[in-house]
A and B are shown apart, each in its own frame.
Chain A
Amino acid sequence: MTTITSGERVAPVSVWKVGVVASVHTETPSGRSIMIDVPGWGGNLAGQHLDLRLTAPDGYQAVRSYSIASASAGDRLELAVDRLPDGEVSPYLVDDLQPGDEIELRGPLGGWFVWRPEQTEPVQLIGGGSGIVPLMAMVRAHQESGSTAKFRLLYSVRTPEDVFFRDELMAFASSAIEITWVYTRAVPAGWATPAGRVSRDILASSTIPASENPAVFVCGPTGFVETVADLLVELGHPAASVKTERFGGK
Chain B
Amino acid sequence: MNHLDGNALAGPLSELFSVDMTLATGRCLGCGDESVLARAMVYESGTDLVVRCSHCDDVLMTLVHTPGDLRIELRGIGMLRIPL
CB pair B5–A109 under 8 Å, yes or no, is: no
Contact with A along B15-45 (1 / 0, CB 8 A): 1001010110000000000001011000010
13 A-B residue pairs with Cβ-Cβ distance under 8 Å, sorted by A, are A13-B14, A49-B7, A63-B47, A107-B10, A110-B22, A112-B20, A112-B22, A113-B38, A222-B1, A226-B1, A244-B39, A245-B5, A246-B8
B10, B22, B39: residue with the most chain A Cβ atoms closer than 10 Å: B10
Which residue of B is nearest A112, CB measured? B38
CA distance A86 to B1 in the complex (A): 15
Interface residues of A (CB under 8 A from B): 12-14, 49-51, 63, 65, 106-107, 109-113, 221-223, 226, 243-248
> In the complex the two chains form, what is the Cα distance from A149 to B82 in whole Å?
29
Whole-angstrom distance between the Cβ of B84 and the nearest chain A Cβ: 12
Q: How far in angstroms is the closest Cβ of chain A from B41?
A: 9
Q: In the complex, which residues of chain A have a beta carbon less than 8 angstroms from the beta carbon of B20?
A: 109-112
Q: Which residues of B contact A245 (CB under 8 A)?
A: 5, 7
A47 to B: closest C-beta gap in Å: 9
Q: Out of B18, B38, B44, B47, which one reaches A248, CB within 8 Å?
A: B44
Contacts of B56 in A (CB 8 A): none
Query: How many whole Å from B46's CB to the nearest CB in chain A?
Result: 11
Contact of A106 among B2, B7, B11, B38 (CB under 8 A): B11
Give complex CA distance A130, B50 in Å. 25
**In the assembled complex, B4 has its CB within 8 A of some CB on chain A:** yes
How far is it, in angstroms, between the C-alpha of A222 and the C-alpha of B2 when the chains are bound? Answer: 8
For residue B5, which residue of chain A has the nearest CB?
A246
CA distance A92 to B51 in the complex (A): 29
Give CA–CA (A63, B20) in the complex, Å.
Answer: 19
Closest to B8 in A: A65
